A = this chain, B = another copy of it.
Amino acid sequence: MVDPISFGIIGGDKRQVFLANSLLSDGVPVLACGFERLKGAAFFSGVEQRPLAETAERAGVLLLPLPATRDGKTLNAPFAQAPIRLDEAFAKALLGHRVLAGKAAALKDACPALRELPIADYGARESFARQNAAITAEGALFYALRAMDKSLCGSRCLVAGFGRVGQAVAVRLYHLFARVTVAARREASRAAAAALGCRTVSTADLYRGGAYDLVINTVPALLFPRAVLEKFPKTCIFLDLSSAPGGIDLAAAESLHLHAEQAFSLPGKTAPRAAAESIKQSVYSILKGCEES
């Protein structure tokens, strides 16, 4: 594994809590900050909760969340007592330390004082992204099963986008016996979807709607504005997995009495332990100096 160092977990959601416990179980000391409002005894007893400055100073490697920031101003730390501003003080605490973060580029945009600090992005590794897509797809199944009053078996499902998450979702729906159509812009994506048993449609033809029971969007572009939503049945369920601001006009969906919901940051909500294990593997690979070939 890694050298006997210590980790400082700064901010994040339940994934980072599982991450802290998992690192500790590997025999590495772990400090944490930004989890003051976490209820109950979620951290294993050996995890030391300390203020930012102390955490940064004592820990060998600092782990920021994925994404490190959602609003471009504060650290992504939903369990923190008070918002952790990405200001000079924050930068000063980190400078000189080894730092890993998810979506590091946005963090540096938000905090120019960090620009010179090399920050490895554990969310950018291809192997992490593959695992994350699988976990996200399972989360999408959970949302779909919760929202639908029909069965997936025999239902007509539309998956918009055929990137990693779209693929993982479409494959699962197919093998759960749904009739799956994939909407993709690229001819090659449609060919790949057809080779996995899916019908296909060009994204440009989405405006025609269709007799679907379930629509899952994975594309971060407004593919489902009001004019498109109007072409779908009233009983169709819409799930948006794309990152904010998302690809489905939720306000329009509501006014059309369609069931539409965002399922942002899925792995953190539905399978935090699995997501934490993926993060840990990515962190270890970076620390071992593995180049992704």
Contact = CB atoms under 8 A, between A and B. Distances in A.
Interface of A: 18, 125-131, 133-135, 138-139, 141-142, 145-146, 148-154, 168, 171-172, 174-178, 185-188, 190-192, 194-197, 270-274, 285, 290, 292-293
Contact of A135 (B151, B196, B290): B151
Given A138-B176, A151-B134, A190 B145 contact: no
B195 A150 contact: no
A285 B128 CA distance: 35
Contacts of A272: 149
Contact of A191 (B128, B138, B149, B174): B128
A149 B186 contact: no
Contacts of A191: 126-128, 130-131
A142 B149 CA distance: 12
A128 B188 CA distance: 8
Nearest to A186: B293
Nearest to A267: B151
A271 B195 contact: no
A132 to B, nearest CB: 9
A150 B171 CA distance: 19
A131 B176 contact: no
B274 A151 contact: yes
Closest 8 CB pairs of A and B: A126-B188, A177-B197, A127-B191, A175-B175, A149-B273, A134-B195, A151-B274, A142-B145
5 contacts: A127-B187, A127-B190, A142-B145, A149-B274, A187-B285
Given A177-B195, A194-B154, A195-B130, A149 B188 contact: no
